[in-house]
Amino acid sequence: MKMLPEEVEIKKIFDLVVELFPALKVPEMQNVIFENSYRRMGKCTKHGQITFSFSAHTELDCKNEEFVDTVVHELIHYNHFELNHNEEFKTMNNVVRNKVLQKLREDMQKHIDEEINKVFKDRG
């Protein structure tokens, strides 16, 4: 079955987290639930499910830092870090978030550079 665009973006972030932090677990995509809601943006259950609630106005891609923040935040909860946002949780969340955002920016810049080089190469 073809994945929805938001599933593709979340899977990108999951894969990146596993690449950068092999010790962290990510759920199977069938355990990721999507809601169209203005409530909180995500929640993780003790049953191994993550629910993401995004409004129709949320840009659901890796260029949206708030979207990336939410996915990483729930992954940290998924990995059994305290649900009360203690210092350990905050530290882990910040480390993972910053590394993921850095890698996404590097990949985006690489893509931009490749496109620019292609344009100039095509011009002769």
Average pLDDT over residues 23-42: 82
pTM of the model: 0.82
103-108's contacts with Cβ under 8 Å and 24+ in sequence apart are 103/16, 103/20, 104/16, 104/62, 104/68, 108/63
Q: Which domain holds residue 87?
A: 5-122
Check residue 96 and give its pLDDT.
Answer: 96
The answer to whether residues 96 and 75 touch, using CB atoms and an 8 Å cutoff, is: yes
The pLDDT tens digits for 43-84 are 777 677 888 887 655 677 788 888 899 899 999 989 876 667
Check residue 30 and report its DSSP letter: G
Number of independent structural domains in the chain: 1
d(CA 61, CA 71): 11
Mean pLDDT of 23-35: 89
- Could you identify the residue written with the tokens 């999951």? 14
Inter-axis angle of helices 65-78 and 5-20, to 10 degrees?
A: 60
Strand segments, DSSP code E, in 1-124 are 32-36, 42-44, 50-54
Comparison of pLDDT for 42 and 71, the residue scoring more: 71
Q: Does residue 90 or residue 55 have the better pLDDT?
A: 90
User: Does pLDDT of 111 surpass 90?
Assistant: no
Beta partners for residue 43, in sequence order: 51
Q: In the chain, pLDDT over 90 holds for what percent of residues? A: 37
Q: Say what the pLDDT of residue 75 is.
A: 92
CATH of the domain at 21: 3.30.2010.10
The pLDDT score that the predictor gives to residue 82 is 62
